[in-house]
Amino acid sequence: MKQYRNYINGEWRESARRFDDHNPVDGSVVAQVHEADRQAVDDAIRAGHAAITGDWGRTSPTERAALLNRIADEIDRRQADFLEAEMADTGKPFSMASTIDIPRGAANFRAFADLIKTTPLECFQTDLPNGAKALNYTVRKPLGVVGIISPWNLPLLLFTWKVAPALACGNAVVAKPSEETPGTATLLAEVMETVGLPPGVFNLVHGFGPNSAGEFITSHPDIDAITFTGESRTGTAIMHAAAEGVKPISFELGGKNAAIIFADCDFDRMLDGMMRAIFLNAGQVCLCSERVYVERPIYEKFCEALTQRVRDLRLGWPNDNDTQMGPLISAEHREKVLSYFQLAREEGARFLAGGGVPEFGDDRDNGYWVEPTVIADLSDNARCLTEEVFGPICHVAPFDTEAEVIARANNTRYGLAATTWTSNLDRAHRVSAAMNVGLSWVNSWFLRDLRTPFGGAGLSGIGREGGTHSLNFYSELTNVCIQLDPEPKT
């Protein structure tokens, strides 16, 4: 049986407590995971501080950029291993893991290698009344040891999205992947060892949240900052823990994202885009559209076309070229999603497609599958339209005016993402800017330039990551101010 160990101070560490890592496709056990205890987390944080006061703390951005590029190259070289681990942990199709998850893992390191070398520091000259000047410039310094807690839905992508900028800025990290997806993070620790990252700079600990490695990191007095991606409720718990030491936090949390489809859109392009926006990764992407508003003249046409496409979706083994959708991550998460299918019935929804559990007649019947599902006819304040489900489900509703749909789309406590489909340029600008979200797409979805800000408003998060926004979170800026007196008169 494969063993996923902790990586602390450049050494692999076993634990007495272990838990099983399951393949969601058929429920089989993939590996045993060594759960880090309080002592292990403590050792990891101490190792991080030692690294920063040692040689790592004296590295230049150019040296760190070179290391980050080597990490990216090594991820590329071991792409097959990463793909295997990612598919075993999540059950997601090869088509997705090979085009999104693993390449983005490497791309995150390259993007921040470039940025740390090229991002200018601020410099201002102040002119004083007596003719003297003051030269101000910023110095970028690491925060210290950063605690990184990440979720299971895009495991390598989201883990490296935090590790890469943290290392680029010269921090050490103690990072915990989700208990559901320990595989690729363990491979990343192997990569760190291979490229010769100094001991203590990257520490990996496995475990759960409360009363386990997650809480041990976030409540540790010597952790200097916390970056977290996961559920909004978990964000509340972590915020409590971080409050004690007034720790900087960066939160990427849940969403209840709206899609707005105008009758003048390119229908076929929109339909392809919306199939991705609703069902990519079985709807387990924080950016997925769970609320779909369609302008009335094309509402019936859209419902029919979407329903047909959903019926044709191929659910299958990750390695099958034909597979378009995989299972949910765990038995527990499937219970949650099925409870929302049931709630939708109780709230009076009409099911246009799905609503149950598929039967395969093979080992997949032991996995954590649900049918891709489309519902309609709920009122805007139904719980199914206000709470994040995080599964392959959307609700479709007609609208009549632009003002009406903007108000309905914004009627949520979340504020992560929106997508608008129209061929009217003025409307595209008006509606996309009116969305109270961090990411507003037009005629597209999940299109990312890693230099742009990423994050959400309201329950969807605090702060922005991406580009210089990440660099600013993962570093402390010191302003140096030097007074330059005027030349003395002779």
Write out the catalytic residue numbers.
Answer: 252, 286
* 428-457 footprint of ligand NAD as x/- string (CB under 6 A): ----------------------------x-
Residues 6+ apart with CB under 8 A from 13: 5, 6, 7, 34, 36, 40
Residue with the two structure tokens 């299109």: 447
The answer to whether residue 281 forms part of the interface with ligand NAD (CB under 6 A) is: no
Closest CB 24 distance from ligand NAD, rounded Å: 13
Q: How many helices (H) and strands (E) does the chain have?
A: 16, 23
Name residue 399's amino acid. F
Work out the angle at residue 108's Cα, subtended by the Cα atoms of residues 11 and 9, and round it to the nearest 5 degrees: 15
* Gyration radius (Cα) of the chain, Å: 24
The answer to whether residue 183 forms part of the interface with ligand NAD (CB under 6 A) is: no
Which helix (H) or strand (E) segment holds residue 94: the answer is helix 94-96
For residue 379, give the 3-state DSSP assignment: coil
The answer to whether residue 218 forms part of the interface with ligand NAD (CB under 6 A) is: yes
Out of 178, 186, 420, 422, point to the residue binding ligand NAD (CB under 6 A).
Answer: 178
Out of 238, 315, 385, 428, point to the residue binding ligand NAD (CB under 6 A).
Answer: 238
The answer to whether residue 412 forms part of the interface with ligand NAD (CB under 6 A) is: no
The answer to whether residue 295 forms part of the interface with ligand NAD (CB under 6 A) is: no
Q: Which stretch binds ligand NAD (CB under 6 A): 91-99, 174-182, 314-322, 445-453?
A: 174-182
Nearer to ligand NAD, 318 or 458 (CB): 458
Q: Using CB atoms within 10 A of its CB, is residue 233 exposed (0-12), middle (13-18) or buried (19+)?
A: exposed
The answer to whether residue 461 forms part of the interface with ligand NAD (CB under 6 A) is: yes
Residue with the two structure tokens 């891709």: 372
Residue with the two structure tokens 């001991």: 199
Q: Which stretch binds ligand NAD (CB under 6 A): 146-154, 337-345, 426-434, 441-449?
A: 146-154
Residue ranges in 245-274 that form contacts with ligand NAD under rule CB under 6 A: 252-255
- Check if the beta carbon of residue 92 is closer than 8 Å to that of residue 101: yes
Q: Which stretch binds ligand NAD (CB under 6 A): 104-112, 229-237, 265-273, 476-484?
A: 229-237
Residue ranges in 365-394 that form contacts with ligand NAD under rule CB under 6 A: 388, 390
Residues 6+ apart with CB under 8 A from 443: 265, 266, 269, 270, 273, 420, 421, 422, 428
- Check if the beta carbon of residue 56 is closer than 8 Å to that of residue 22: no
- Check if the beta carbon of residue 255 is closer than 8 Å to that of residue 463: no
Side-chain half-sphere exposure of 460, counting CA atoms within 13 A: 26
DSSP state of 150: -
Cβ-proximal residue to ligand NAD, closest one: 209
Out of 74, 89, 215, 295, point to the residue binding ligand NAD (CB under 6 A).
Answer: 215
Residue with the two structure tokens 């205890």: 37
Q: Which stretch binds ligand NAD (CB under 6 A): 13-21, 96-104, 173-181, 439-447?
A: 173-181
Closest CB 236 distance from ligand NAD, rounded Å: 9
Nearer to ligand NAD, 54 or 453 (CB): 453
Out of 31, 286, 376, 405, point to the residue binding ligand NAD (CB under 6 A).
Answer: 286
Tokens of 319: 């390695």
What does the alpha-carbon distance between residue 404 and residue 260 come to, in Å, rounded to a whole number?
A: 11
The answer to whether residue 155 forms part of the interface with ligand NAD (CB under 6 A) is: no
Out of 15, 90, 153, 420, point to the residue binding ligand NAD (CB under 6 A).
Answer: 153
What does the alpha-carbon distance between residue 296 and residue 290 come to, in Å, rounded to a whole number?
A: 19
The answer to whether residue 328 forms part of the interface with ligand NAD (CB under 6 A) is: no
The answer to whether residue 179 forms part of the interface with ligand NAD (CB under 6 A) is: yes
Binding positions for ligand NAD, rule: CB under 6 A: 149-153, 158, 176, 178-179, 208-210, 214-215, 218, 229-231, 234, 237-238, 252-255, 286, 388, 390, 416, 456, 460-461
